[in-house]
Structure 1
């Protein structure tokens, strides 16, 4: 069974791609890759999370929810990670490793022969993606390794190695949307494991949200997001302290870190014409190895 939050993320990418507003990130495969049935399911989910407003469009509640709670997180993080991959592939081969890939469609959109893609996720997700890839690409297969993994039980190193990962080749490791559900100490054990198999000049990209000063405040957007994900069967943890993130990153084999705050994200990705702004408390992290 595909996670509901993965479906909502795919829905948001599709909506933004087909919108008339300025594009921050485009995913022309989002809707077709998910499929009409699941796309409609995701749209119906989105309608549930905000009360209907007076509008001629029956999709207004869904759009309002997408604009407030999905696009401000999803667009900059996907653009950020793929910009890094694009920059590295211009100077030679690179492996792009997506941990918890969900319904990400980079492998379908990738046109560079310099990029070898590894997607790690649960068995159910991989079965779904393999079948959809076969349906969409009858004559050409995208350059991608679908790696089945249970992150609670399996070794990332052994799974990647068995799938053909080359530890001597530069890599970009994407861990987007994962830290929201994992305690900080466990998350950085994963970072430390990745550091052991990453070649020099590799990078790790992840996002996280700041631990709230007043966790009892149920009116913040983060608190509302927690309620929404819980209703999807996925419970978020309490967030991370930025100082602790930096300290643990350096203890995990990271050579240097660059933390983009919500203000930085706003300046880098959102202009006034987009009608969007960065999600409060959410950071993007670039770690050099």
Structure 2
């Protein structure tokens, strides 16, 4: 089944936005405790497509590809929101690049942090419709910023949308880099590297074949052809060293890099379900250094 099988909203939303949200929602339905990440609004945001999308996980939840999709989605979200929480005492601007059906702004207990959701206009329009159908209000703290990562600088559009470039920013950029060229990744990072010193970013990247384990390669071999068929081919695979090099070239200092196992607390791997960490992707947390560093 593909998003093309759904009329109405689905064709306007990236396939990956739906599958990532379905994976986060299914984690709470299929997997055992302890939960890695509790996205309680993921299922409502699937709208009329929830049952179809979640049925795969309910019926075949132990399949390595579906379990891998859930693990990929929840580990990166947990890693990112944990780092945001740590930074939150001094940062009140949060930019979500490729926001898709991300629900942070609607789950957040505090509205003190201003959230800028960046994505393609069609995806944002569809998300607004899904939020409305689910009875989820869009708080005043949320700003939708229409943008395309291949179409030029983002920083200017964010500033035009109300972001203060002289105050620190936290940026989440998840599940996107593999669909871009290395040139586009560097251009976006360089743009973001011009934010105020102390600004932070968390992003992820797929590992090249030689750095993946058997589970990671199995997932990639199954999913990459499907992604290409859906018009969203994987373009870029980066080693942790290569990703760190791009970040440094863009003006960041690397704070932390983590594989799936290291991305969440060790206690969360005491599991009785099908979730097992794999060498498929990696996460990186970086910061704009103070002048002179």
Same topology, TM > 0.5: yes
Shift in Å, 1:11 = 1.0
Matches within 5 A, 1:201-212: 201-212=198-209
Shift in Å, 1:61 = 2.3
Shift in Å, 1:27 = 1.0
TM-score, L = length of structure 1: 0.84
Structure 2 CA distance, aligned partners of 1:152 and 1:288?
23
The counterpart of 1:23, out of the listed 15, 35, 40, is 35
The answer for the alignment partner of 2:131 in structure 1 is 133
Unaligned runs of 5+ in 1: 48-58
Q: CA RMSD in A?
A: 2.6
Contact residue 131 and residue 137 of structure 2 kept, 8 A? no
The counterpart of 1:39, out of the listed 50, 55, 66, is 50
The answer for the alignment partner of 1:236 in structure 2 is 234
Shift in Å, 1:109 = 0.4
Give the 3 Å change call, closer, same or farther, for CA 269–225 of structure 1 in structure 2. farther
Structure 1 CA distance, aligned partners of 2:71 and 2:168?
30
The counterpart of 1:251, out of the listed 249, 252, 257, is 249
Contact residue 134 and residue 141 of structure 1 kept, 8 A? no
Structure 2 CA distance, aligned partners of 1:174 and 1:219?
26
TM-score, L = length of structure 2: 0.83
The answer for the alignment partner of 1:2 in structure 2 is 13
Matches within 5 A, 1:82-101: 82-89=81-88, 91-101=89-99
Shift in Å, 1:67 = 4.3
The answer for the alignment partner of 1:55 in structure 2 is none
The answer for the alignment partner of 1:74 in structure 2 is 73
The answer for the alignment partner of 1:52 in structure 2 is none
Contact residue 261 and residue 278 of structure 2 kept, 8 A? no
Aligned residue pairs, count? 273
Give the 3 Å change call, closer, same or farther, for CA 83–274 of structure 1 in structure 2. farther
Unaligned runs of 5+ in 2: 1-11, 289-293
Structure with bigger RCO (C-alpha 8 Å, 6+ apart): 2
